[in-house]
Structure 1
């Protein structure tokens, strides 16, 4: 491997391990700040949304089909549909719109 690849791997490893090990070693008591606890509670959800949202719009040939599937998925989930039902509804919307728009 070239030295630059090894340097990239070393930096990536240091950052990854640092973000996992430092909180365990530096924070020894439970977090009592309500704002910080609330912030940390929502971090996984926001991270997932930030990674998923652009992929929803760009995964199809037409961004319109992706946006329509997103709207249908949000509406179905809001009304209490299960995950397989939401996924099937979104796939169906994309399938129909891709047939119509092609």
Structure 2
């Protein structure tokens, strides 16, 4: 890639990123009083995090079965209010065990 073209892409990306963050501050001077908008803005970070994380979970292993097993274990442990480390280790262990079982069965 040409160096000049790279810096043009970089400048456009930086400008777009800045505008996305700066426009809400310019447009919304006061406190948001609408209950619907406040609740919507409360849940946006969780929805974005889920949308970014879920595909990575599914494609993290070479097999769909082990990825689903890890996801199920993680969801069960999370709903049981276990800590983040417990959920991560439990999901990883479940995916590992299922993957090893797949290797020995096939």
Q: What is the TM-score of this pair, normalised by structure 2?
A: 0.88
**Structure 2 segments unaligned to the other structure (5+ residues):** none
| Distance in 2, Cα, partners of 1:2 & 1:35 | 47
1:23 aligns with 2:29: no
Gaps of 5+ in 1: none
Alpha-carbon deviations, 1:6-59, whole Å to 9, x = none?
221121111111111121222111011111111111111111111100110111
Match of 2:11 in 1: 10
Superimposed CA distance per residue, residues 40-94 of structure 1 (whole angstroms, 9 cap, x where no aligned partner): 1111111111110011011111111011110111011111211111111111101
SS in 1 for 2:61: coil
Question: The residue matched to 2:62 in structure 1 has which SS?
Answer: coil
Higher mean displacement: 66-75 or 15-24: 15-24
Match in the other structure for 1:36: 37
User: Please, what TM-score do these two structures have when normalized by structure 1?
Assistant: 0.92
Counterpart CA distance in 1 for 2:70 and 2:63 is 11
SS where residue 59 of structure 1 aligns? Answer: coil
Q: In angstroms, what is the RMSD of aligned CA positions?
A: 1.2
| Structure 1 residue 98: Cα displacement | 1.0
Distance in 2 between the 1:68 and 1:92 partners? 10
